[in-house]
Every structure is written in C-alpha cells, then in structure tokens.
Amino acid sequence: MLSHVTAVRYVTPLREGGSLPGLVETEDHGTYETYVIKFTGAGQGRKTLVAEVICGELARRLGLRMPRLVVIGLDPVLGLGEPDERVQALLKASGGPNLGMEFLSGALGFDPLAYDVAPDEAGRIVWFDALINNVDRSWRNPNLLRRRGELWLIDHGASMIWHHNWPTARAAAAKPYDASDHVLAPYGPDVAAAAAELVPRVTEELLTEVCAEVPDVWLADEPGFEEPDAVRRAYVEVLLARAGTVHERITLPTTEPKDATQ
C-alpha cells in the first residue's frame, strides 16, 4: 500500500499546472522529505488523483520510471499563513488525504529537441500511454522528466477519461489511440516489441493490486457503484480488456524516425 505521511510545512506553489500543485515538507517517524502535492480540493476533483495512483503504480510495476507516490495527510491550518488567497483557499478545501509525488531533485523537463530516446523505450511509453489513454504527453506538454540520463514519467491525471462517464466505459476498451502528436512519436517507437513484453504482464491480479492502492475516500459515493471495491473492479475490467489489443489500434506518424544514435 502507499505510504502515509503528514504535511508539516507548505513550501511553495508550483504554478505550471492548472490544478496548482505545490511543494510540501512531510514528516514520517522523524524522517523529513519533500513532495509535490496534488490536492483533493483542486478543480479537477478526486478522479484526477485516482488516475495518478492507478496509472503511476501500474507504470512502476511494468518497469517504467515513476516517482514514488504517497498519501499526504494535510491539516488546513497550514494555509493560514499563505499570502496568495487562491492557494489559501485550496489548502483549506483539501483537509485530509491528498496525493504526494516524490520530488526528483535535479530533474529537468524533457526537451525533444535536446534529447534522444531509443525505439524500445519510446515504444514502451507509447504503448503504456495507449493503454491508459493518456492524452497529455505531447510535445507541448511532455510530462516527462530527464534525470541522470534517464526518463521519468509524471502527471497522469488526464488519463483514463472513460471514468468520467462509467456507463460508456466498457466501450472505451476498444477505442484506438492517436499517438501522432505524442512527444516520443518521432523516435520510431517499437510498439510491437513493447506489446510482446508488457501485455502478458498486465494481468487481472496485477491490476487488482494496483487499484487497491487508491484510498477508499477517493472512490466513495461514486454514482452507480455501491462501494469502493466495485469501482476498483470497473477500472480493472476496462484496463484488462484494453491491454490485449490496444497496440493494434495505435496511430503513429509516417515520417522517418529520429536517429537515436546521433
């Protein structure tokens, strides 16, 4: 299960994102760490945090680099000294469990003009994004970090858009994925090799384990479901149905791939 830590100091807002995430210092049995916090009180709602957990933990279990996720307990009193009224209101609206993502010191945003990516790694990431229907990994907003020569995946809150309309979610399993605007499309992603490697690993057991990481409070009172575990099963069903054949429905550009050896 995700570790639970307590926020002891709000450091600063990160104004790049529309949900206004921030940096907080946390404490857990005398150990202090810094995390990027994403708030339950943000306008995007708790489903953004659910997507972050399911997609982030699935990525990690499939061998993709993903900053560690934790649940951060937040006391709204931390917002009393914040001069920005918008941030203060967000902190006050987010008491209780929020999502924390490990702060990767020294990491830089991925620049497709400055870095090269091997086709096998590009293929794994494109295939994964197709599985979760991630619409937010374009050259405009890569949501990739480069650290010590390695690629790290971040920000999956815009994924699994079918969970905003559960009555049509089952049909989403058969939908194609347009990767023509994907930030890694120019690197000749080897999607077939990625599918051969990863599809057998996306089992019902693995998906059930991943969905169990989501706190009950973020799944409670979902319309059409009697309990959080029923919502978890719905996520498992759609992802499992999608995993087997989504690689056959990925659209990539027909331009020549970049030479990753340059």
* Whole-prediction pTM: 0.94
Per-residue model confidence as pLDDT tens for the chain (262 residues): 899 999 999 998 886 655 689 999 999 989 999 999 999 999 878 999 999 999 999 999 999 999 999 999 999 998 887 888 888 899 999 999 999 999 999 999 999 888 899 999 999 999 999 999 999 999 999 999 999 999 999 999 999 999 999 999 989 889 999 999 999 999 999 999 999 999 999 999 999 999 999 999 999 999 999 999 999 999 999 999 999 999 999 999 976 666 554 4
The contacts of residue 150 (CB under 8 Å, 6+ apart) are: 65
Helical H runs in 98-166?
119-132
Q: Measured on CA atoms in the order 133, 139, 142, 147, is the torsion positive or negative?
A: positive
Q: How many CA atoms lie within 13 A of 13 on its CB side?
A: 19
